Structure 1
Amino acid sequence: MLQNHFYDNLIEAGCDEAGRGCLAGDVYAAAVILPADYSHPLLNDSKKLSAKQRYLLRQEIERDAVAWAVGVATAEEIDQINILNASILAMHRALDALHVRPEAVIVDGNRFQPYHDLPYTTVVKGDGKFLSIAAASILAKTYRDDYIDRLAEEYPVYDWKTNKGYPTKKHREAIEKHGICPFHRKTFQLLRK
């Protein structure tokens, strides 16, 4: 059973990112503030859900949330500041875009950088422990999937429709055969050594 809050009596935003381990494309993050007493039987870590469940839940999260937003850091920014910093930047951008200002932040994982003066806590596997982080994981994942599906139409050789930009055998073989495109992360190990 996922928990509602880490901080009692504070407006809390849950944050998560998607696309950190990909070889190509932007990294997406979401921030979600849920109602204090919110519960949902299906809400869980996005990796434990089917694509169909994620998209159904996205509609419900967007309808039910007090506030939600998605932030992005580009492949170029990832190459400039590294994937960890770019993931955090995308989370900060999602927090910036919320129309309700949170009073605290909980983040999936073990790394974050202070956001303004707000108290924050990192939670390893937080998307399987807190509802707002699970909700953020679903939004980040589905919005990133939509984005990579659009790119896949432009660059079909990399099989992004299937691998979403992650390092699969087919993706690496396509890089070897066709080279990289402008959306590949040049600082990543794109080919097996």
Structure 2
Amino acid sequence: MPLDRPPTRHRASARARMDAADLLTAGVDEAGRGPLAGPLAVAAVILDPARPIRGLDDSKKLSEARRETLFPRIVERALAYCIVLVEPEEIDSLNIFHATMTGMRRAIAGLAPAAQHALIDGNKLPPDLPCPARAIIGGDALEPAISAASILAKVTRDRLMVQLDALHPGYGFALHKGYPTPGHLASLQRLGPCALHRRSYAPVRLLLDQGRLF
């Protein structure tokens, strides 16, 4: 079945591209650092001050229904947004920290119009960013643009994991989205890792090591 991969870029209107430079601040956040399976999703969003969006908050504090309601509003009203996925193979190659930094850099670079400043959730800044940036601990609950990025990343990843559940039945991806719940760990023990699993994460790595030993 075809998968609904996220749009990599949203081009703003000519009016938006002519807005003042001091409005072009991007919020950046990710979803999916903790799961044992599936990609990491990273989003960057430049909000339009002339088109405010009520109810923005850290995506983890919002219900699924509320996130789904806000997603199209953000997409429609933002001056620009970019959503990128970092696949499990690259996460295993880089480790999750560097994969997150790489995804953030790609998301900011994918904005059109380009961001002239970025606000990044967390306490670390990716190297080689295309614009000045500031890291904000808990920024997804403090800065509307980061909240918007958090919602885009979370909804995109959750939708994808639901689709991937049909391609990899038995693991329950539609329910737990790849996080290490008791049900996921039990299915992992029963079925072994699938192509979506992150080989560098301890529960998956231990199973693979056991398979090589016996």
TM-score (norm 2): 0.82
Q: Deviations over 1:85-136 (max 9, x none)?
A: 1112112222222111011111111122134352111111100000000000
Q: Select the structure with the greater relative contact order (CA < 8 A; seq sep ≥ 6).
A: 1
For residue 131 of structure 1, what is the amino acid of its counterpart? P
For residue 33 of structure 1, what is the amino acid of its counterpart? I
Identity over aligned pairs, percent:
38
2:133 alignment partner, one of 120, 125, 128: 120
1:40 to partner: Cα distance: 3.0
1:37 to partner: Cα distance: 5.2
For residue 155 of structure 2, what is the amino acid of its counterpart? T
1:39 to partner: Cα distance: 3.4
Is residue 134 from structure 1 mapped to residue 150 from structure 2 by the alignment?
no
1:9 to partner: Cα distance: 2.7
- Count matched residues: 186
For residue 57 of structure 2, what is the amino acid of its counterpart? N
Is residue 12 from structure 1 mapped to residue 22 from structure 2 by the alignment?
no
- Point out where structure 1 has 5 or more consecutive residues left out of the alignment: 1-7
Q: Given that residues 114 and 120 in structure 1 are in contact (C-alpha distance below 8 angstroms), is that contact kept between their aligned partners in structure 2?
A: no
2:186 alignment partner, one of 160, 170, 173: 173
Three-state SS of the structure 2 residue aligned to 1:77 is helix
Correspondence for 1:183: 196
Three-state SS of the structure 2 residue aligned to 1:9 is helix
The 1-side partners of 2:109 and 2:80 are apart by 12
Correspondence for 2:55: 42
Q: Given that residues 29 and 120 in structure 2 are in contact (C-alpha distance below 8 angstroms), is that contact kept between their aligned partners in structure 1?
A: yes
1:179 to partner: Cα distance: 0.4
If you compute each CA radius of gyration, which structure gives the higher value, 1 or 2?
2
1:66 to partner: Cα distance: 0.4
1:154 to partner: Cα distance: 1.3
Q: Given that residues 176 and 191 in structure 1 are in contact (C-alpha distance below 8 angstroms), is that contact kept between their aligned partners in structure 2?
A: no
When the two chains are superposed, the root-mean-square deviation of aligned CA atoms in Å is: 1.8
Correspondence for 1:3: none
The 1-side partners of 2:109 and 2:147 are apart by 19
Three-state SS of the structure 2 residue aligned to 1:190 is helix
For residue 22 of structure 1, what is the amino acid of its counterpart? P
The 1-side partners of 2:142 and 2:39 are apart by 26
Correspondence for 1:5: none
1:92 alignment partner, one of 105, 108, 111: 105
- Point out where structure 2 has 5 or more consecutive residues left out of the alignment: 1-20, 207-214
1:150 alignment partner, one of 135, 153, 163: 163
The runs of at least 4 aligned residues of structure 1 exceeding 6 Å deviation read none
Q: Larger deviation: 30-39 or 55-64?
A: 30-39
Q: Deviations over 1:45-78 (max 9, x none)?
A: 1011111110110110011100011011110000
Three-state SS of the structure 1 residue aligned to 2:150 is helix
Three-state SS of the structure 2 residue aligned to 1:121 is strand
Q: Given that residues 62 and 68 in structure 1 are in contact (C-alpha distance below 8 angstroms), is that contact kept between their aligned partners in structure 2?
A: yes
